[in-house]
Amino acid sequence: MPMKAKEVRDKYINFFKAPQRNHKEISPAPLVLKGDPTTLFTSSGMQPLVPYLMGKKHPKGSRLVNSQPSIRLQDIEEVGDNLHTTFFEMLGNWSLGDYFKKEQLPWIYEFLTKEISLPKDRLWFSIFEGDKKFGVPADDESIKVWKSIGISNERIVPYGVEKNWWSRTGTPGQMPIGDIGGPTSEIFYEFVQVKHNLKHGKKCHINCECGRFMEIGNNVFMEYKKIGEGELEPLPSKNIDFGGGFERIVAATNDEPDIFKTDLFESTISNLEDFVGLKYGSSEKVNVSYRIIADHLRAASYLLAEGVMPDNKLQGYVARRLIRRSVYKLQSLGFDLAGGAISTFARPYAKDFKVISDNWYPLKDAINTEAVKFNAALNRGSRKLDKIIKNNKLDGKTAFDLYQTEGFPLELTLEILEERGIKFDNKDKKLFKEEFEKHKEKSRTASTGMFKGGLADHSDEVTRLHTATHLLQAALREVLGEHVEQRGQNITSERSRFDFSYDSKLTQKELKDVEEWVNDKVNKDLPVKHKLLEKEEAGKTGAIGLFEDKYGDKVNVYYVGESLVKSVSKEFCGGPHVKHTGGIGHVRIKKQEKLGSNLVRIYATIGVEE
């Protein structure tokens, strides 16, 4: 203590890779899992490992470790305080039916207290108190293990399913059938210099969120699968799924409750201070704005680097919202972007993430282009607001409509009203809030529904379109040249959306040639096969893959044709596929869009030949 972020990350990985613990490091998954249309983003290190936690053998064995970049959108409205972010890294180690509590808890305690020297008297621990409804007993075993390494009774605190149960979808009652989860033992760091910030009569405890305690790690004992309402069954083996909040652990090594004061954000915050002319810490408004800008641009940069372009749907909508919210927060401090400078504040993240560094120039252009668009949207919103005010039709609902259609924030609406001496009463604010909560609930419901039990959508429509998209990429490379590279894709049961690098829209002839090439392979009813190969060996076959550095040491290569050597398409992939191309159906290219200086988007569907 204190430590730089890279040192903390390296120490964690090396601690679990050491011979006495013998974990194998696995590559982090992309933020957008290729071929998985059921979830927007990778939101935890365990998400790509679900099949292995359910019993499938992992190519690297039963002890794994990595650091996984993740995005969780449920925290987006909380960003602005000292610890919440949308984008974060999760330090993770896993036991897939190997060791369990008596090894994991002492190991993680050793890492925290010896490797990164956190004071023992600052660490607190929660455990699961049990749940009678689902028949899960209290976690007495964890209590015994914590006590065996010297943790006193007062530092071990029991909680129920709301706090000490983990699955991607919540408590056992909230989990869809087929999802997996288990009880947890969380680790908290105490900032003794933070004064309690509790309302009168409330008692401080490690989960009270008064600011005195910060959760830095969570030992999940992944043991159960939901098989019916009110019914869980044990998984084939007991698993460890540890998740450590990287940014929070770094803050703890600095005994600093504000994660934005760590070296992860210091360059961006410093640049903001220089440009805006206001110091971080000078006011709560400045703090909140700088934190939102720093977090959102980090998340947006990583998304853009992985090929997610700003859009009005799904992942692209999130990228756009993150950039636009950053623009607005900068403007709210009185700094005029003039349509371009915001990428300056994303530049420092290139030193932390190779994927950002490698793709800096196109992502910089995308950020600045989106900033220009939002400036125009703000101008349109201002004109609409003027008209609404003039016609005396402003209320909470119209203010929300303005927010939803133009991205015009309520804060800006209120600021303009205040300048004009117009009162937006509490009733209208309440109505806006109600509309906003409806919008958030719809978003949450849609996001949760995308999991469909925590597994990818293997419906017939998605499977056919997924294989068709492999052929589409091969056709584009055949017609336009092998310099064409995939930049992103999204597949639903209705259509496939495919983004690729190219400097202009396709001509009508090129579109026709691509479509005919694909349908020729469909009509030939070629076999679709796959092989599990070492990554290096797979690369030598000529198979292509999106963001190849994200794959593990062994990869599945799906190919179309009688043999891998003579195949018409071969890609690294783990998604669902038809057995023969004849099962796809007639493929049609519905439309194309030019997204940027070197990016084209194509939409394809499956139907009957016309």
pLDDT tens digits for 142-163?
Answer: 999 999 999 999 999 999 988 9
- 55-64, 181-190, 194-203, 210-219: the lowest-pLDDT one: 194-203
Task: State how far Cα 193 lies from the chain centre.
Answer: 32
| pLDDT given for residue 448 in this prediction | 45
SS3 of residue 215 by DSSP: strand
**Residue in the structure block whose two tokens are 């983990």:** 166
Mean pLDDT score of the chain: 83
Which pair of tokens denotes residue 211? 């600011």
Q: Is 519 exposed, middle or buried (0-12, 13-18, 19+ CB in 10 A)?
A: buried
Higher per-residue pLDDT: 562 or 36: 562
Query: What does the alpha-carbon distance between residue 103 and residue 112 come to, in Å, rounded to a whole number?
Result: 15
Phi, psi dihedrals of residue 90, rounded to the nearest 5°: -115, 115
**pLDDT-based confidence at 455, cuts 50/70/90?**
very low
Domain 460-607 is of which CATH architecture?
2-Layer Sandwich (3.30)
| pLDDT given for residue 554 in this prediction | 67
pLDDT tens digits for 200-213?
Answer: 667 888 888 777 89
Report strand pairing: 123-128 vs 156-159: parallel
What mean pLDDT comes out for the span 25-44? 75
The answer, yes or no, to whether residue 451 has pLDDT greater than 50, is no
| pLDDT given for residue 138 in this prediction | 92
pLDDT tens digits for 128-137?
Answer: 999 888 889 9
Phi, psi dihedrals of residue 242, rounded to the nearest 5°: -95, 135
Total H helices, total E strands in the chain: 17, 16
- Residues near 520 by beta carbon (within 8 Å), at least 6 away in sequence: none
| pLDDT given for residue 504 in this prediction | 85
What is the per-residue DSSP string for 308-375? ----SSHHHHHHHHHHHHHHHHHHHTT---TTTGGGGGTGGGGGT-HHHHHTHHHHHHHHHHHHHHHH
Report strand pairing: 569-572 vs 554-560: antiparallel
Buried b / exposed e across 225-247, counting CB within 10 Å, b at 16+?
A: bbeeeeebeebebbbbbbbbbbb
**Closest Cα partner for 416 from 387, 375, 440?**
387
Q: How far is CA 536 from CA 65, 113, 173, 555, in A?
A: 21, 39, 44, 9
Contact 181/164 with Cβ under 8 angstroms? no
pTM of the full structure: 0.70
SS3 of residue 49 by DSSP: helix
| pLDDT given for residue 122 in this prediction | 94
Contact 39/451 with Cβ under 8 angstroms? yes
What mean pLDDT comes out for the span 45-58? 84
Per-domain boundaries in the chain: 5-260, 265-388, 392-451, 460-607
| pLDDT given for residue 514 in this prediction | 94
| pLDDT given for residue 596 in this prediction | 61
| pLDDT given for residue 360 in this prediction | 84
The answer, yes or no, to whether residue 338 has pLDDT greater than 70, is no
**Residue in the structure block whose two tokens are 């159906």:** 585
The answer, yes or no, to whether residue 11 has pLDDT greater than 70, is yes
**Residue in the structure block whose two tokens are 């075993």:** 141
| pLDDT given for residue 441 in this prediction | 59
Which pair of tokens denotes residue 229? 């309402």
Q: Which CATH number is 5-260's, of 3.30.70.1290, 3.10.20.30, 3.30.930.10, 3.30.429.10?
A: 3.30.930.10
Which residues are registered as beta bridge partners of 96? 239
- 194-203, 242-251, 589-598: the lowest-pLDDT one: 194-203
Greatest mean pLDDT range, 1-5, 50-54, 165-169, 287-291:
287-291
- 122-126, 384-388, 459-463, 606-610: the lowest-pLDDT one: 606-610
The answer, yes or no, to whether residue 76 has pLDDT greater than 80, is no
